[in-house]
Amino acid sequence: MSEPKPIIILGSTGSIGQQTLEVVRALPHRLRVVGLAAHSNHELLAQQIAEWKPAVAALWDESAAQQLRDAVGSSSTRLLAGQSGVHEVATYQEGQLVLGAMLGAAGLGPTLAAIEAGKDVAIANKETLVAAGSVVMEVARAKGVALLPVDSEHSAIAQCLIGEEAKTVTKLTITASGGPFVDTPKEELARATAARALKHPTWTMGQKITVDSATLMNKALESIEAHWLFDVPMQNIDVVVHRQSIVHSLVTFCDNSVKAQLGVPDMRLPIQWALLYPERIGGTAPALDIASMGPLTFERPDAARFPALALAHHAMQAGGTAPAVMNAANEVAVHAFLKGTTSFYGITDCIEAVLERHTVIARPKLSDIYEADAEARRLAREFF
Ligand code: NDP
Ligand code: MG
C-alpha cells in the first residue's frame, strides 16, 4: 500500500479545518498532517500540534503566535508567525496537497503561494476564487496543479463531470438550502438579527458563511466559484432552492440529460473526496437512506427578497476587479451585521453602493486585485 499522503491545512482551527482533521483521524493510513496554519486561535492550534505533531505550524497574528510558542514549549514542530509564516506553511516542501480553508480573501496569498510551489489545492476558501479567479486559474494551469473543490456544490458538479466532455455541458444548477430566512417576509427580514441568521437549518458552519447563506450571498459567491472552476459562463449557472440539502448540485448536458450527486449534508464527504481524489474509499460520512429521507423539493430563489444573486451577475458582467470588490464589501458588511451595526439589507445595500463607486480594471494583475480589495474595504467601512 502507498504511503499516507502528506497534507497541509490552512485554517485548521475553523469549521472546515476541524472536519478535515476528523477525516484524517479516520484515515491515518491514507493521510498525514505535515503543516497547520490559522489566524489567532492559539489554544486550539496548540492542541492540534500536540495531537498531529506537524513539521510546521503558523499563526498569522504575531502576538497570538507568541502565546502559541509559550504554550507549546519545546516540540518537534517548527513554529512560525505572521503572513510570511503562513506562506511558509503553505509551501512546506514535504506537503503534497494543501487544503485551503481560511476565511475570506485573506486566503488568496497563501493559496497562490501553494500553487506556485506546485502543490495540488483542495479549495474550500471560495472568496479566493471570487476575488482572483482569472489569476488563480492561470497560475494553476501554468503549474499543472489540480484545484479540487471542497465546497459541497462544486464537489457534486466535479463528480458529475467525471467522464464527460466539457463542451457537452449546457447548464450547472447549484442547490441552496435557502438558509434560515427562506420563508421570512421582506419586512421581517429588514429587522433580522445576527442571532437569527446564525441558526442554519441544515449545515453547521463558521459565522461568516452562515450569514452568507442567510443573504444567499453564499450562492452568489458559489456561482462565481463554479464559473472559474468549470469554465461555464455565468448565464449558464442557475441557483435553485432545495431545502433538504440532499442533492448537492446538478449538471445538464446537451442531450438534456441531467446528472446530480446526492448525499447526507456532511462536509466530511466532499472533504474526503478532494483529499483522496481520484480514489473513493469508505470513510466518515454516514449513509444516505433514500427510502426514509422524505420528499425532495426544488424552487426558484426569490430575487426580490435576496438581491445578492443579482449583484453577483452584475459584478461578473462588469468583470475584472468587480467581483473582488463585491467580495471585499461583503466581508466588511457581514462583520458589521455580526456586530449589530448594520441591518440584513444593510449588507447588500453596502455592496451595491461600493460596486457603483468602483472603476473596473478589465484585465487585472494581482496587484490591481489587492488594491481594489483594499479600496472596497475602505469604502465599505464608511457605511458603518
Ligand atoms: P471558520 O470561521 O470556521 O474558520 C476560518 C479559519 O480560517 C480559522 O481556522 C481561522 O483561524 C482561519 N483564518 C482566518 N484568517 C486566516 C489567515 N489570514 N491565515 C490563516 N488562517 C486564517 O470558517 P469556515 O471553516 O466555515 O470556512 C472557511 C472557508 O471555507 C470559507 O471560505 C468558507 O466560505 C468555506 N466553506 C465553508 C464551509 C463550511 O461548511 N463551513 C462549506 C464550504 C465552504 P482562527 O480560528 O485562528 O481565527
Ligand atoms: Mg457550498
For 250-305, the pLDDT digits (tens) are 999 999 999 999 999 999 999 999 999 999 999 888 999 999 889 999 999 999 99
Q: Using CA positions, which residue lies closest to atom 17 of ligand 1?
A: 39
Instruction: Give the ligand at the shortest distance from the Cα of 219.
Output: 2
Query: Whole-angstrom Cα distance, residue 308 to residue 127?
Result: 15
CATH number at residue 72: 3.40.50.720
**Does residue 242 fall inside a structural domain?**
no
Ligand 1 atom closest to the CA of 17, numbered from 1: 25
Is residue 319 within 8 A of residue 305, CB to CB? The reply is no
pLDDT score, position 284: 84
Query: Whole-angstrom Cα distance, residue 172 to residue 352?
Result: 26
Residues in the chain: 384
pLDDT at 1 over 80: no
Q: How far is the CA of 372 from the centre of ligand 2 (A)?
A: 25
Q: How far is the CA of 166 from the centre of ligand 1 (A)?
A: 31
The two beta strands, 247-253 and 169-176, are antiparallel
**Does residue 366 fall inside a structural domain?**
no
Q: How confident is the model at residue 203 (pLDDT cuts 50, 70, 90)?
A: confident
Helix (H) or strand (E) holding 46: helix 42-52
**Does residue 89 fall inside a structural domain?**
yes
Burial label for 26, CB within 10 Å (0-12, 13-18, 19+), is: middle
Query: Whole-angstrom Cα distance, residue 145 to residue 123?
Result: 12
Ligand 1 atom closest to the CA of 45, numbered from 1: 47
The average pLDDT across 44-63 equals: 98
Q: How far is the CA of 155 from the centre of ligand 2 (A)?
A: 9
Cα dihedral 347, 333, 102, 142 sign: positive
Cα dihedral 93, 97, 101, 107 sign: positive
Q: How many separate domains does the chain show? A: 1
Ligand 1 pocket mutation pick from 8, 15, 60 by most atoms within 8 angstroms of CB: 15
Ligand 1 pocket mutation pick from 86, 103, 370 by most atoms within 8 angstroms of CB: 103
Averaged pLDDT of the chain: 97
| Ligand 1 first shell, C-beta below 6 A | 10-17, 37-41, 60, 86, 101-103, 106, 124-127, 151, 203, 205-206, 208-209, 267
What residue type is 103 in one-letter code?
Answer: L
Q: C-alpha cell of 366?
A: 494581482
Q: How far is the CA of 63 from the centre of ligand 2 (A)?
A: 33
Q: How confident is the model at residue 62 (pLDDT cuts 50, 70, 90)?
A: very high
Which residue carries 473513493 as its cell?
A: 280
Ligand 1 atom closest to the CA of 64, numbered from 1: 47
Q: How far is the CA of 212 from the centre of ligand 1 (A)?
A: 13
For 4-29, the pLDDT digits (tens) are 999 999 999 999 999 999 999 999 99
Half-sphere exposure of 289 (CA within 13 A, CB side): 5
Which residue carries 489545492 as its cell?
A: 121
Query: Whole-angstrom Cα distance, residue 49 to residue 68?
Result: 10
pLDDT score, position 141: 98
**Does residue 370 fall inside a structural domain?**
no
Ligand 1 atom closest to the CA of 126, numbered from 1: 32
Pick from 27, 26, 24, 105: which is nearest to 35 by CA?
24
SS3 state of residue 209: helix
Q: How confident is the model at residue 130 (pLDDT cuts 50, 70, 90)?
A: very high
**Measured between alpha carbons, how far is residue 163 from residues 155, 158, 184, 186, 280 in Å?**
15, 10, 41, 43, 16
pLDDT at 218 over 90: yes
Q: How far is the CA of 64 from the centre of ligand 2 (A)?
A: 30
Q: Which domain holds residue 121?
A: 5-145
Pick from 287, 296, 204: which is nearest to 245 by CA?
296
Which residue carries 450527486 as its cell?
A: 261
Residue-wise DSSP of 171-202: EEEEEE---TTTT--HHHHTT--HHHHT--SS
Q: C-alpha cell of 188?
A: 421581517
Q: C-alpha cell of 31?
A: 493521510
**Does residue 120 fall inside a structural domain?**
yes
